[in-house]
Amino acid sequence: MTSIVKRCPARGLWLRGVVTAGILAFTTTSMQAQDFPNKPIRIVVPYAAGGPSDTGTRLAAEPLARELGKPIVVENRGGGGGLNATEAYFKGEIDGYTILVGAIGPLTIIPAFKSVSYDVEKDVVPLTTVWRSAQVLAVRPTLGIKTVAEFVAYARANPNKLTIGSAGVGAVTHLAIEVLKREAKIDVIHVPFRSTSESLPQLMGGQIDALFGDGPIIAPQVRSGHIVALAVAGPARGQALPDVMTMAEAGFPTVTAESWFGLVVSSKTPQPIIERLQSALATAQKDPAYHEKLAKQGASAGEPGPAALAKLIRDDATKWSQVIKAAGIKPQ
């Protein structure tokens, strides 16, 4: 049987319109990518200036600017533990000229216990990691404890007596405490502050007994003898404190906690521009001077590239959501 399909002029015009619109959109995007960048690029850091996120971003921005041939402006927007600027970014105009510093808090920890306006899996496109540094367990010298074994023994003999400071409820420093409590089977008192820069003076003054803090931040006080570092909660000894053993060496291999920051863009960014940024960063991060400057800060860029950052986000999201659920942590 032969069927006859009558042509519909209106439908034909509609189809031609759709095809034409698609071609125009593709052409426009391609032209944008070829011309990218034709003006300065902005990187939004969702924290105040001077911290690891700011330092790591500025170090990466130097070789990236040379590779792209355009200035890069770093803009700090603190507040809400990094959440405020992160939410604002994904609600803003997306054209590839604004990059966000994606942090462990807004991308893996906060969404585990608080509703956010973005979907990490759907909205975030990783570019590369720019900073990784492990947390360090440190104590006041007057406590008379020199090793993790001594710390655990003291905590077991004196349940709910030791006070350990963190950078706030739900911060990675707090979660590190929860992991240590679980793995070492100890009970301690968590004392939250608003940042490590607030908890550190309290430890030095003897108001608290211990803290988990970012290695590069507390290293100067360790070297000066104002506090005693017991162990690094990372896969290897940190460059900031190379003589301090890891938690694994101390007998607790699952007590790991690292701060990290990476560059990300919205999934609404044109794909050719995403690829251009990823390619430029891959070249920029091969600069030896970049790694030397990071090393002087006691940090590293970790494994470069979008795949490594994507895996880091997925792994930490799973890990920390489990810790948060088990500890019953609620938003403040």
Which pair of structure tokens corresponds to residue 141? Answer: 């010298």
Residues 103 and 176 in one domain: no
Residues 228 and 271 in one domain: no
Residues 69 and 140 in one domain: no
Residues 120 and 171 in one domain: no
76-94 pLDDT, tens digit per residue, is 999 999 999 999 999 998 8
Distance CA 173, CA 28 (A): 46
Residue 315 inside a domain? The answer is: yes
Structural domain span for residue 223: 134-233
Residue 58 inside a domain? The answer is: yes
Residue 151 inside a domain? The answer is: yes
220-242 pLDDT, tens digit per residue, is 999 999 999 999 999 998 888 99
Answer yes or no: pTM beyond 0.75.
yes
Residues 55 and 99 in one domain: yes
DSSP three-state, residue 124? strand
Nearest to 230 by CA among 116, 147, 119, 329: 147
86-131 pLDDT, tens digit per residue, is 999 999 988 899 999 999 999 999 999 999 999 999 999 999 999 9
According to DSSP H, which parts of the chain are helical?
Answer: 9-35, 52-68, 83-91, 104, 110-113, 120-123, 148-157, 172-184, 196-204, 215-223, 271-284, 288-296, 306-327
Task: Provide the pLDDT for residue 155.
Answer: 98
Q: What CATH number did the domain enclosing 280 receive?
A: 3.40.190.150
Query: What is the number of structural domains in the chain?
Result: 2
Residue 119 inside a domain? The answer is: yes
Residues β-bridged to residue 296: none
Residues 126 and 263 in one domain: yes
Residue 275 identity: E
Residue 291 inside a domain? The answer is: yes
Residue 228 inside a domain? The answer is: yes
Nearest to 74 by CA among 105, 53, 96: 53
